[in-house]
């Protein structure tokens, strides 16, 4: 296993060296993009795990209590918990506060997705830059040696093809994952919006009393 890993590292090192200077930013773009993708995948997994039913959400709002611990990381529980903590007890103000909470959660769902798309789009452009530099190196060899130095010519052409290949290898899965994460964000966002509408009706149908200490406390942003 150790020998196999060492051989793999040697091959990877040779591959990166053959691609030239452009391979370093390509590696940085790839690592950063996949770190962001992994963070978003774990984020959506937490939101969708043990999601609170809509009936439980209405009960929590009606009784002015926080969600149960088993729902603590779900998308609906985040909406209910944030609203219950900041609610004022006045229906009109609470409806506006609930709308603001829904919009804030929607922004959190799409956070970093645009950056993932930018990184995925930058990768093939870096690959194209490597293609240009590789062809320039090839033409420099032709200008000095003509067609007599096949090895140097092959090095320039290899650099051009390797950087193009690497840029596409980074970009294609990145764009796919961006679309996948956008679909998950849309599904979770629709669920949050639907629960928000139900809670709006719950707020309109009842006015929750606010504890005296909460009324006395100054408003916090």
Would you say how long the chain is, in residues? Answer: 221
Q: How does pLDDT run across 11-38, given as a tens digit for each residue? A: 878 777 878 888 899 999 999 999 999 9
What token pair was written down for 156?
């320039």
pLDDT for the residue 221:
35
pLDDT for residue 214 is more than 60: no
Torsion angle, alpha carbons of 37, 38, 40, 43, to 10: 170
The mean of the pLDDT values for the chain is 82
Give the pLDDT band of residue 1 (cuts 50, 70, 90): low
pLDDT for residue 161 is more than 80: yes
pLDDT for residue 61 is more than 70: yes
More confident residue, 155 or 42: 42
Region 195-214 average pLDDT:
65
**Which of 96-100, 143-147, 160-164, 169-173 shows the lowest mean pLDDT across its residues?**
143-147
- pTM confidence score: 0.79
* Cβ 19 vs Cβ 159: under 8 Å: yes
DSSP 37-106: HHHHHHHHHHHHTTPPPHHHHHHHHHHT-PPPGGGTTSHHHHHHHHHHHH--S-HHHHHHHHHHHHHHHH
**Which of 70-74, 116-120, 171-175, 187-191 shows the lowest mean pLDDT across its residues?**
70-74
pLDDT for residue 130 is more than 80: yes
Contacts of 42 (CB under 8 A, 6+ apart): none
pLDDT for residue 140 is more than 70: yes
Pick from 11, 19, 2, 4: which is nearest to 126 by CA?
A: 19
Q: How does pLDDT run across 164-199, given as a tens digit for each residue? A: 999 999 999 999 999 999 999 999 998 888 888 888
pLDDT for residue 216 is more than 80: no
What token pair was written down for 56?
């439980």
- To the nearest whole percent, how much of the chain has pLDDT over 90? 27
pLDDT for residue 146 is more than 60: yes
pLDDT for residue 97 is more than 70: yes
The whole-angstrom separation of Cα 202 and Cα 78 is 17
The whole-angstrom separation of Cα 210 and Cα 170 is 54
């Amino acid at each position: 296993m150790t020998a196999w890993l060492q051989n793999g590292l040697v091959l990877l090192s040779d591959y990166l060296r053959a691609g030239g200077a452009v391979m370093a930013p390509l590696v940085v773009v790839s690592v950063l993009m996949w770190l962001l993708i992994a963070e978003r995948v774990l984020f959506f997994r937490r939101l969708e795990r043990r999601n609170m039913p809509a009936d439980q959400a209405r009960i929590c709002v009606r009784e002015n209590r926080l969600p149960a611990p088993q729902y603590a990381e779900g998308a609906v529980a985040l909406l209910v918990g944030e609203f219950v903590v900041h609610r004022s007890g006045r229906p009109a103000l609470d409806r506006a506060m609930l709308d603001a909470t829904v919009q804030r959660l929607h922004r959190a769902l799409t956070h970093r997705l645009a950056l993932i798309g930018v990184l995925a789009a930058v990768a093939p452009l870096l690959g194209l830059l490597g293609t240009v530099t590789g062809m320039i190196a090839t033409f420099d060899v032709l200008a000095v040696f003509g067609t007599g130095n096949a090895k140097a010519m092959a090095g320039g052409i290899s650099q051009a093809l390797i950087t193009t290949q690497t840029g596409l290898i980074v970009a294609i899965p990145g764009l796919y994952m961006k679309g996948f994460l956008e679909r998950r964000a849309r599904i979770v966002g629709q669920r949050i919006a639907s629960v928000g509408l139900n809670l709006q009706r719950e707020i309109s149908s009842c006015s929750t009393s606010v504890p005296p200490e909460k009324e006395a406390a100054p408003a916090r942003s």
